[in-house]
């Protein structure tokens, strides 16, 4: 029998964003791409996101942020994952993030940032190409 390797993705919304329409659309697109998507809802702390990532053993942590707090919250998730020995996960970000901020986020360990207007196929292909084997 074929053993199937499923890609598991956590769609996480840290911080104080008031809505999660974008996150839900991306969750749906990931599902349609055949991924198993764990969605935890709004206003999660980095600590909660890291705990869930570990328990669910996700391959990808996709962080959606609109509030402008990406400079603090995204690197914090990366740092906590490393501390917990779960640093083999692909971390990507999406949302309203100015181009000038992207190099620093990548420096901090976020693999890629997807800004408004990106077709959902782009992060899907990125995940397929870069996920841990």
Partner 1 sequence: MDLVQLVKEGNRVAIARLITKAENEAPEAAIAMRQLYSETGKAFLIGITGPPGSGKSTLTDKMVKELRKRGKTVGVIAVDPSSPFTGGAILGDRIRMSDLALDDGVFIRSMGTRGSLGGLSKATYDTIKILDAAGFEYILIETVGVGQSEVDIVKTADTTVVVSVPGLGDDIQAIKAGIMEIGDVFVVNKADREGAERVVIELAQMLELNANMGDWFPPILKTVAVRNEGIVEVVDKIMEHREFLTSSGELRNRRKERISNELFNLILKKVSAKISTKLSEENFWDSQLDEIIENQKNPYDVIDRVIDGILQ
CB of 114 to partner 1, least distance (A): 19
Reading the block at residue 6, the tokens are 């499923």
Q: Assess 131 for contact with partner 1 (CB under 8 A).
A: no
- The span of 1-9, 71-79, 92-100, 113-121 binding partner 1 (CB under 8 A) equals 1-9
Which window, 64-72, 83-91, 95-103, 104-112, contacts partner 1 (CB under 8 A)?
Answer: 83-91
| 47 touches partner 1 by CB under 8 A | yes
Based on the shown chain and the rule CB under 8 A, indicate whether residue 120 belongs to the binding site for partner 1. no
Instruction: Name the one range near partner 1 by CB under 8 A: 37-45, 63-71, 90-98, 99-107.
Output: 37-45
Q: Confirm or reject binding of residue 102 to partner 1 (CB under 8 A).
A: no
Kindly state the tokens that stand for 84: 């917990």
Whether 13 contacts 45, CB under 8 Å: no
Interface residues toward partner 1, by CB under 8 A = 1, 3-6, 8, 27-28, 30-41, 44, 47-48, 51-52, 54-57, 84-86
């Amino acid at each position: 029998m074929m053993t199937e390797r499923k890609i598991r993705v956590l769609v996480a919304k840290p911080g104080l964003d008031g809505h999660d329409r974008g996150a839900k659309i991306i969750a749906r697109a990931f599902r349609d791409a055949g991924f198993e998507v764990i969605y935890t809802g709004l206003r999660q702390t980095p600590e909660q996101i890291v705990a869930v990532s570990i328990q669910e053993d996700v391959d990808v942590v996709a962080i959606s942020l609109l509030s402008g707090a990406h400079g603090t919250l995204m690197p914090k998730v990366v740092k906590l994952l490393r501390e917990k020995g779960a640093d083999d996960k692909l971390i990507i970000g999406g949302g309203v993030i100015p181009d000038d901020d992207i190099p620093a986020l990548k420096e901090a360990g976020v693999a890629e940032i997807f800004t408004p207007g990106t077709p959902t196929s782009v992060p899907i292909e990125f995940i397929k190409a870069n996920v841990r084997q």
